[in-house]
Structure 1
């Protein structure tokens, strides 16, 4: 595993990390928590980012919000992703993130969720670029660490303004722009527009990361090569194949995927359980284990019935017995490619 982990406690600039490993764990609400980031970092993710954190929650010192920001040194380089609409509050939130020791702050201008957008935050700010400019200036001035942003291609098909956003970001000293290849109006429907991402990358004066519909290692490398992006964000793809980062990195380096790590989903699930138990209470542990067991089962015989039974379990022991029985039964059978099917559409910007 250590071949895929950077030296513990080493503070690495995120751009330097991208040069070594351009495959980034995309921030996903309710998924990329402390436990999952540690789990995926061990499995080859080059850079990891927290789930969405409210700058207003930080301002009010919400215990739940501050917990979302926790990380450990094994996750470096790690970014804390903030959302909000007030430049001053976002700047203060970024300062708190910096004080906690993260490697960079990521600002979310991509979240399409109505309760976020109606306040002008998330992808809502794509409709108010003067305000976005103020936010970027305020946050960059407030911290010494790098600031990155995540956006969509625009609010809708008639207002594709990602290139304009990239120009603003460059002028304000933003380190990179990650672009989800859908508009806010699309939410998670249709397909990510990688041709548009490539067009923006070709014109951009700062590093660009692409995001959207990367479900296999080959897709990750292909998107890197065809778009010219400096990195790609992988979200849903790692939920059914936690090996996607290490395999993509091997392919990107011109190597065959490593056989050092057996495709042992029972071992993977037990490792993840250990990480979740260490950071979550009993109730959240049950929720997370059911979700991840369901996702890990995708593409294997009997997965549909397994998922149905899984969400009917009443206790932790019953859940674990069922999961262990299923993952033992599949052994090291090759996972079926289900990239043509809808899978977990939602959860991130």
Structure 2
């Protein structure tokens, strides 16, 4: 199944997020009705040098299909070779990141820096598209800064190069993760280009995901931070999109967190497991009474067993309590392009 075919069945895509959408979390979110999933940011240069850490970022399992491997780099030939390697690894499509705002990526001319040079960007697209047989998608921002929001130009280049879709994060590189994603701009891009468009930015509820989809006319929406505080967001968004009421499932966060723990343990060593368990427990607790003290206790914990004891006790006490709106909390920001 191609990425666009998958969108027609489920338009709610898990946004790639560095340090978050690893093998374990992608499998976990697919079980909760996420549509297409994409790996974390993978360095084309890291693939060239066969970096063990880089290659591990590319691992996936059959439950994740259709699965894309997201690459970044600045040299067309290096990225094209990396894309061929990704194809040989069996992924369903390659995604190129032209949206990452992180300085260590941008200073090399990669990520969102590519938006400043559409000619160079076109050369990368042509090189990669010519090197692989599987679909190619790209992720961008609205532009480098407020004076150069050139997403329409980039989308037209992508269309001419035969790209499958363009995902647009509704902020400029200069904004980082500040301010609000500009969905009016995303809608304008969709209305003035022929290529399928995914919108991304500030999707925090299932209802909001559906409203953005309808109001902007995009072909799909990418959800990032929204699933970190509400892992059921994809399930609920899909139900609403189908004209159904959200599934009457037991919103058992304790069982949910233990399910995630099983995936993490299967793919991470003990140290990384501890880091991931703390992060996800903190995110999942957001908006519930006692969350601040719970997070403090989490990050003072000394072992993975203590983390799980704290998490089980906290999530067992949530019950049917309503989750508060915490969209302004800074610790939920960042992590993706």
TM-score of Structure 1 vs Structure 2, range by shorter chain = over 0.9
- Choose which of 117, 132, 144 in structure 2 pairs with 1:128: 117
Correspondence list, 1:28-107, <5 A? 28-107=17-96
The unaligned stretches of length 5 or more in structure 2 are none
TM-score (norm 2): 0.99
Indicate if the aligned counterparts of 1:110 and 1:180 stay in contact, CA closer than 8 A.
yes
> In structure 2, what is the equivalent of residue 216 of structure 1?
205
- Choose which of 3, 20, 23 in structure 1 pairs with 2:12: 23
Q: Distance in 2 between matches of 1:258 and 1:337?
A: 21
Q: Distance in 2 between matches of 1:57 and 1:339?
A: 35
- Which secondary structure state, in structure 2, belongs to the residue aligned with residue 50 of structure 1? strand
Deviations 1:65-120 (CA, angstroms, capped at 9, x unpaired): 00000000000111000000000000011011101111110000000000100111
Q: Distance in 2 between matches of 1:285 and 1:278?
A: 9
Q: Distance in 2 between matches of 1:167 and 1:241?
A: 35
> In structure 2, what is the equivalent of residue 8 of structure 1?
none
- Alignment pair present for 1:238 and 2:256: no
- Choose which of 79, 101, 105 in structure 2 pairs with 1:112: 101
The unaligned stretches of length 5 or more in structure 1 are 1-11
Q: Distance in 2 between matches of 1:256 and 1:96?
A: 43
- Alignment pair present for 1:346 and 2:334: yes
TM-score (norm 1): 0.95
RMSD after superposition: 0.8
Kindly tell me the number of residue pairs found equivalent between the two proteins: 337
- Alignment pair present for 1:305 and 2:293: yes
Q: Distance in 2 between matches of 1:196 and 1:316?
A: 44
Cα 1:26–1:145 shift into 2, 3 Å: same
What's the offset of the Cα at 1:317?
1.2
Indicate if the aligned counterparts of 1:126 and 1:155 stay in contact, CA closer than 8 A.
yes
- Which secondary structure state, in structure 1, belongs to the residue aligned with residue 202 of structure 2? coil
